[in-house]
Amino acid sequence: MRRIIYSTMIVILLAAIVAACGGGDEEEPTPTSPPAAVSAEGGAAAVGDPGGLPAAAMQIAQERGLTPDDIRAAMMTYTPSGKWDEYLSFMSGGHSGNLIVVGVPSMRILKNIAVFTPESWQGYGYGSDESKAILDGGNVDGKEIRMGDTHHPALSETAGDYDGQFIFLNDKSNGRVAVIDLRDFETKQIVKDPNLISNHGATFVTPDTDYIIQTSQYATPFGWDYAPLSEYKEKYRGLMTLWKFDRETGRIDPAQSFSIELPPYWQDLCDAGKLASDGWVFCNSFNTEMATGGIEEGQPPFEAGVSQRDMDYMHIVDWRKAAEVYGAGDTEEINGMPVIRMDTAVAEGILYLAPEPKSPHGNDVTPDGKYIVVAGKLDPHVTVYSFAKMQQAIADKAWEADEFGIPVLNFDNVMVAQLEVGLGPLHTQFDDRGFAYTSLFLDSMVVKWSLGGDDPNGYQVADKVPVQYNIGHITMAEGDTVSPDGKYLIALNKWAVDRFTPVGPLLPQNEQLVDVSGDKMQVIYDMPLGIGEPHYAQTIKADKIQAWNAYPEVGWDPATQAPSEHAVKVGEERIERNGNTVEVFMTAVRSHFNPEHVAVKQGDHVIWHITNIESAHDATHGFQLGGLNLSLSIEPGESTTFEFDATEAGTYPYYCTEFCSALHLEMTGYMLVEP
Amino acid sequence: MRRIIYSTMIVILLAAIVAACGGGDEEEPTPTSPPAAVSAEGGAAAVGDPGGLPAAAMQIAQERGLTPDDIRAAMMTYTPSGKWDEYLSFMSGGHSGNLIVVGVPSMRILKNIAVFTPESWQGYGYGSDESKAILDGGNVDGKEIRMGDTHHPALSETAGDYDGQFIFLNDKSNGRVAVIDLRDFETKQIVKDPNLISNHGATFVTPDTDYIIQTSQYATPFGWDYAPLSEYKEKYRGLMTLWKFDRETGRIDPAQSFSIELPPYWQDLCDAGKLASDGWVFCNSFNTEMATGGIEEGQPPFEAGVSQRDMDYMHIVDWRKAAEVYGAGDTEEINGMPVIRMDTAVAEGILYLAPEPKSPHGNDVTPDGKYIVVAGKLDPHVTVYSFAKMQQAIADKAWEADEFGIPVLNFDNVMVAQLEVGLGPLHTQFDDRGFAYTSLFLDSMVVKWSLGGDDPNGYQVADKVPVQYNIGHITMAEGDTVSPDGKYLIALNKWAVDRFTPVGPLLPQNEQLVDVSGDKMQVIYDMPLGIGEPHYAQTIKADKIQAWNAYPEVGWDPATQAPSEHAVKVGEERIERNGNTVEVFMTAVRSHFNPEHVAVKQGDHVIWHITNIESAHDATHGFQLGGLNLSLSIEPGESTTFEFDATEAGTYPYYCTEFCSALHLEMTGYMLVEP
């Protein structure tokens, strides 16, 4: 007996020591090795290392070949029922046209907010007058555009910190910007820029969300009018538009918005200055060659023509001065939008350029606002600029003009340091300990490096971690604000290849959560994303957002965030006929609609109001009616309206599409269209 | 020194004993208690119990308040980078109109397959001729219906087991059925039933996928023609349609499909017989009262009127005999669909009824095919029927006719057992150890009970586990086949309420993974689902599916799963004009399109072919062109076509929307529309 206990104690002691040494240390193979290696390592490691886990758990870890690093990662990410995620990451959906809300660290998708693309589950753009009006705000040349290519979400800020009130998002392929209200996580507004048709460089906010900034990408003539490519330099132009945001109404005010004319360089990502650099905005560009492609005609293709020069131009814009010039009326109205012409921008000291290597992408201001980090896709360095040096160079007029007469500051006068970080540096974020993190597309790695201030030698590579695969942007916990949190980094990888169970030729992306709390980074979760392709994301402390559980009062119109004029009260349900127009006033409550019969005549125009009279958390009702291409989601308290012409005689059931109660299948009715 | 080691040993020994006792045992509070309790228990438990975890992991578990059950659950679900999920669960998206693919046990969304609703990321229904043709197959009265309400996916079966080749899905709100090919996880066909406009009871397959079965829900006249509700009993009818599936073409063959006329009871869920009951299909119904509602006129609302009778009717259908009768031409063509009239069905012995309590929902055949389990939402029992007894009752003609002349078998003659399981029994699945599992909507629990064969006393409740909240259907690993795997159960909960970080009034659903491998069930993962509302799901062993990494050859048309007649070969890129029609033959490869310039004249009709000439795994290219409402996803090898009228003169950039390479932003071109 004693011998048994004693030997047991020895085994446990040894196991515990091995575990303590191996657990979460960085000599262990990371769980990001290929499958085979993981199994092998895991199988081997799992026998000895996880000793001391609760008995059942230890057996499972062994059976599933989990390594000590896997176990540590599981402890960091597993989120039990009813426990809330600490952060919310808002990921652009790319060509899904939507905005995806992900809980961190569990990496679970909490919602896919419909923005530019109709979405049937949310009842967005599927019949309701309210959502149609929002989407119509983004029509192009009067044509209904019902998709988008979303790239860069921007949370509203107060004093350079996320305030959790609104989030903005761009549509690259049609040059539009959307406003989403974080009280109900719904899109409220889409605005279309009348002069540009692509806006990859969007959205970015000024430190107090006075303006939402966008730049054009692929240059066109103003209003994308026709002009042959032979007239590219003369007629094609870039633009920066400053959309005025009205926090009171929660809407962009186009009447207070304006643009700045830019050269037909392809403007790319921007970041607004903050603190030391407040009042300025910095944007990359990557076709200063003004190449126009034409592989089919034996010309160099864009991919080559656009990449000839060693240096492109950072655009340095004094947006406060631009706002003054706009306020003074020194603009030209083009297609209804006031535009500060290039010569005015130069004369007023609004616009400067600085050389930047080579085909840059990320352009990121440090938390203190003193430095701007540029990552050039085709240059293995990150280049760090000093805002103070820029101001000095401007004061000294240390510049030459480009061929459009725009001052180009001397590179050596404004650059502080160039640090070789690896192949394909793309985008940079910051932590709370003086480190910057840059994605390396070609190396498929994240590199962590120290910020050195004005000391070039202070910039040093501190760590690298491989990611799977082809990383684009990164997002860190409040990582582009004046007060980053550190802790978590998410690698927005473009290719997944072998990471997940095969689901056909179209693969999900792989969003990898990286623990950056220690000296060494560790990938702790692989999140497949099979509903879009995030380009950029912002990650906010969840408790900063004050989301509603139900609308403030029964009869609410989410489109205006105010009581609806069409709200239907209990006891006032009815059907009114006025000539050939039939107006239905309906309520919905578990588990019936009132009325349950709606009789109209073929050819009638039907206006149908529904109010969900419930206020209970999660008591949403849906509504569909066969043959109408109609789908509504009516949250607690919401009132909505749809209308249609009853063109086909017949018998049409309608019903609640949300499983709201045990008698939800019985929550139905008939619309009868009499011939 | 010795004292230190010894006391260390004692501590570890005690910790290990506590852990071994506490770990994963069922006396511990499950992680499904309310947040406060979890923190409290977790905080307390975490100090002592998880002792012996790798040092870093133990500290994290303590900081995050994980209980021993949480740790065990994390070990069961955490899936390291590059490790594949063991099962794929195909979840209907409800009123999102799509089909969601989830990996099990990690509960990560791998893909959201666009079915009835266009989806921009997948380029489905956003301009390509191929996807438009598929969606147009589901048009209603010539009207484009671009949404759906999907409920019950059905994987193709061979000998009653999933074969991993196809999956079928219904649209309740328009009475349609879709076919999805699991080689590329894409929708290939949508068919519209010309006689019914709602089909909640769909889809279900016969054991070798000869037929895909659907039933109508809310009764209407044939073809949803107009008839007042006063003529409900005379003119309104239910229908069962048997869609013939052609495995060779991978398509439904409407020309070989037919329907069976049913009474205007609201037919609901079905299950096809298998093994012992092969050749038959069993369906519930829940408005045998033939109530027609009318709360606005002082009539009992549907929720009350439909729930008056203690018994509704199970529909027992001999589908093989029905197929013979159809083959013999003993049908009537109604709106182009051959229909076996009710009197013929009765005369030919195709259709029988059996009483079933009360407003039933789930209707599930045991793996051996000998018994049918009915769960009645308003009855606390599950009712088990014997197929052998049904056959005997039919042979004995032990029936009375209902008011439509359909034989109603004597309940006591066909029922084997009634087991009280709890409030709101809804749907049943099976494991590999002789147990059935039933969801309890009102109790918010899953109940596990033993199958007793012909012995009424063999049916006993074995275990219950609470779920959060309002559980609808459940899915188990191959849980409705002839050979269930057990292991995992997923509770498809309708309400999440407090489970997740708030994201506004519209909440995600909560799909909870339950470990059923032991005697006691344990909830091991909460998966928020914020992109739809699954009603039913089927869960298949992942390695049964042979998905393609890329299309079999370059120039492939996924719509026909054959080489495309419009495929463009390298070197054959060109633009051809024929009168006012311009035809573009384009290739896409990292990182350029060819051609990069497309010049047309205002008013031209443009036909545009693009072939992705890559064959590398994950080398997908996207395509968008401003102002056109166009979004394509062109997977490796795929060839696609879109066409439009160039109505507006202008300069339109097009570009690759998939981040395919470091020079992906440079993968662009200009379409110039000359006035």
Q: Do B120 and A148 touch (CB under 8 A)?
A: yes
More confident residue, B418 or B27: B418
Mean pLDDT of B521-546: 98
Confidence check: pLDDT of B454 > 60: yes
Which residues neighbour B481 within 8 Å (Cβ) at sequence distance 6 or greater?
Answer: B157, B160, B161, B162, B367
pLDDT of A46 strictly over 50: no
Work out the average pLDDT over A85-94.
98
Instruction: State residue A397's pLDDT score.
Output: 97
Cα→Cα distances B124→A316, A349, B114, B128, B622, Å: 41, 48, 7, 7, 12
- Residue B56: what pLDDT? 79
Per-residue confidence band for B44, with pLDDT thresholds at 50, 70 and 90: very low
DSSP codes, B324-354: HHHHTT--EEETTEEEE-HHHHHHTT-EEEE
Count of other CB atoms within 10 angstroms of residue A469: 18
> Can you name the residues that pair with B305 across neighbouring β-strands?
none
Q: Do A618 and B495 touch (CB under 8 A)?
A: yes
Q: Where do we find the tokens 């968008």? A: B624
Contact A175, A196 (CB under 8 A): yes
pLDDT in the model for residue A34: 28
For A73, the closest chain B residue by CA position comes to B57
pLDDT in the model for residue A54: 72
DSSP symbols for A235-267: H-BEEEEEEEEETTTTEE-GGG-EEEEE-SS-E
Q: Are A283 and A269 in contact (CB under 8 A)?
A: yes
The answer to whether residue A27 scores a pLDDT higher than 90 is: no
Characterize the bridge pairing of strands B399-401 and B337-340. unpaired
Contact predicate A307/B663, CB 8 Å:
yes
Q: What is the pLDDT of residue B58?
A: 80
Interface of A with B in 267-296 (CB under 8 A): 268, 286, 292-296
Looking at beta carbons, which pairs linking A253-258 to residues 24 or more positions away fall under 8 Å?
A254/A191, A257/A211, A257/A337, A258/A322, A258/A323, A258/A326, A258/A331, A258/A337, A258/A338, A258/A339, A258/A340
Mean pLDDT to the nearest integer, A63-70:
94
- Asked if residue B227 lies in contact with residue B221, where contact means CB atoms within 8 angstroms, the answer is yes
B533 to chain A, any CB pair closer than 8 A? The answer is yes
C-beta of residue B447 within 8 angstroms of C-beta of residue B516: no
Q: Which helix (H) or strand (E) holds A411?
A: helix A411-414
Contacts of A82 in chain B (CB under 8 A): 31-35, 38, 468, 498-499, 526
Does the CB of A548 have a partner CB in chain B at under 8 Å? yes
- At residue B16, does pLDDT exceed 90? no
Q: Please choose, from the candidates B558, B599, B588, B574, the residue with its C-alpha nearest in 3D space to the C-alpha of residue B657.
A: B588
Instruction: Tell me how far apart the 2 most distant CA atoms of chain B are, in Å.
Output: 98
Residue partners of A45: CB distance under 8 A and separation at least 6: A22, A28, A67, A68
Checking if the pLDDT of A250 tops 80, the result is: yes
**Pairing of β A360-365 and β A371-376:** antiparallel
CB contact under 8 A, A141 and B648: yes
User: Residue B525 and residue B490: Cα distance in Å, rounded?
Assistant: 9
pLDDT score at A53: 62
Q: Check if the beta carbon of residue B46 is closer than 8 Å to that of residue B66.
A: yes
- Structural Rg of chain A based on CA atoms: 28
Looking at residue B110, its amino acid is L
**How far is it, in rounded angstroms, from Cα A564 to Cα A662?**
30
CB within 8 Å of A662: residues ≥ 6 apart: A591, B377, B378, B424, B441, B442
Q: In angstroms, rounded to a whole number, what is the distance separating the alpha carbons of residues B385 and B410?
A: 12
Inspect the interface and report whether the beta carbons of B500 and A56 lie closer than 8 Å. no
The nearest CA of chain A is from the CA of B615 a distance in Å of 10
Contacts of B342 (CB under 8 A, 6+ apart): B261, B262, B263, B351, B404, B405, B406
Q: Which residue of A has its CA nearest to B82?
A: A499
Quick one: pLDDT band at residue B8, thresholds 50, 70, 90? very low
pLDDT of residue B53: 62
Say which of B71, B122, B220 has its CB closest to residue A53: B71
Inform me whether the pLDDT recorded for B22 exceeds 70.
no
Establish whether the linkage from the previous residue to A469 is cis, with ω within 30° of 0.
Answer: yes
Task: Answer whether A578 touches B (CB < 8 Å).
Answer: no
The pLDDT, as a whole number, for residue B489 is 98
pLDDT band, residue B42 (cuts 50/70/90):
very low
Q: CA-CA distance, A345 to B311, in Å (whole number)? A: 80
Mean pLDDT, chain A, integer: 92
Assigned token pair, B310: 């203690």
Instruction: Flag if B531 and A218 touch (Cβ within 8 Å).
Output: no
Closest CA to B180 of B348, B395, B171, B386: B171
pLDDT at A481: 98
Distance CA A23, CA A630 (A): 55
Give me B260's structure tokens: 């069976």
Site from B85, B87, B107, B121 to mutate, A interface, most A CB atoms within 10 angstroms: B121
Mean pLDDT estimate for chain B: 92
Mean pLDDT of B510-518: 97
Position B89 scores a pLDDT of 98
3-state helix/strand/coil string of A268-310: EEEEECCHHHCCEEEEEECCCCCCCCCHHHCCCCHHHHCCCCC
Q: How confident is the model at residue B590 (pLDDT cuts 50, 70, 90)?
A: very high
Q: CA of A382, closest CA in chain B: separation in Å?
A: 16
Which residue type is seen at A555?
G
Least confident of A21-30, A193-202, A658-667, B526-535: A21-30
* B154: phi then psi, degrees, rounded to nearest 5: -135, 115
Structural contact between residues A629 and A637, judged by C-beta atoms closer than 8 angstroms: no
Quick: pLDDT tens for B260-269.
Answer: 999 999 999 9
pLDDT at A201 over 80: yes
Q: Which one, of B556, B670, B463, B460, lies nearest residue B184 by Cα? A: B556
**What pLDDT shows up at residue A14?**
32
Contacts of A65 in chain B (CB under 8 A): 83
Closest chain B C-alpha to A560 CA, distance in angstroms: 16
Q: Give contacts of A672 with chain B, Cβ < 8 Å.
A: 226, 228-229
**Distance from the first to the final alpha carbon of chain A:** 92
Q: Which residues in chain B touch residue A60, judged by CB atoms under 8 angstroms apart?
A: 72, 75-76
**pLDDT in the model for residue B9:** 36
Q: For residue A36, what pLDDT is reported?
A: 27
**Residues of chain A neighbouring B143 (CB-CB closer than 8 A):** 627, 629
- What is the per-residue DSSP string for A504-567? SSSPPEEEEEEE-SSSS-EEEEEEEE-S---S-EEEEEGGG----SS-SSTTEETTTTEE-TT-
H or E stretch covering A345? helix A342-347
**What's the pLDDT at A573?**
98
Question: What chain B residue is nearest to A301 in terms of C-alpha separation?
Answer: B592
**Closest chain A residue to B443, measured at CA:** A662
Residues of chain B above pLDDT 70, percent: 92
Dihedral class, residue A526 (left if φ above 0, else alpha if ψ from -120 to 50, else beta): beta
CA distance A331 to chain B (A): 24
- Closest approach of B453 to chain A, Cα-based (Å): 29
CB contacts, 8 Å: B616 with chain A: none
Q: Could you tell me the two tokens for A630? A: 């109609």
CB contacts, 8 Å: B52 with chain A: 12, 15-16, 19, 51-53
Kindly report the number of other CB atoms within 10 A of residue A605's CB atom.
15
Q: What is the pLDDT of residue B153?
A: 98
Measure the CA–CA gap between A311 and A659, rounded to whole angstroms.
58
Distance of residue A239 Cα from the nearest chain B Cα, in angstroms: 15
- Helix residue ranges, H only, A23-89: 35-48, 55-63, 68-77
For residue A6, is pLDDT > 90?
A: no
Q: Is B21's pLDDT higher than 60?
A: no
* pLDDT band at residue B377 under the 50/70/90 scheme: confident
Return d(Cα A559, Cα A411) in angstroms, integer.
49
Number of H helices and E strands in chain B, helices first, is 11, 45
ipTM of this predicted complex? 0.92
What is the DSSP track for A71-126?
A: HHHHHHH---TTPPPSEEEEEE-BTT-SEEEEEETTTEEEEEE-SSS-BTTTTBSS
How far is residue A654's CA from residue B398's CA, in Å, rounded to a whole number?
39
pLDDT reported for residue A29: 29
Which amino acid, residue B314?
M
**Least confidently predicted of A77-91, A410-424, B39-53:** B39-53
Strands ordered across the beta sheet of B407-409: B267-272, B280-285, B311-318, B351-357, B407-409, B399-401
Asked if the bond preceding B591 is cis, omega within 30° of 0, the reply is yes
Residue B369: name the closest of B298, B272, B465, B262 by CA: B272
Contact A522, A514 (CB under 8 A): yes
Residues 604-663 of B with CB under 8 A from A: 617-618, 620, 622, 624-627, 629-631, 633, 635-638, 648-653, 655, 657-660, 662-663
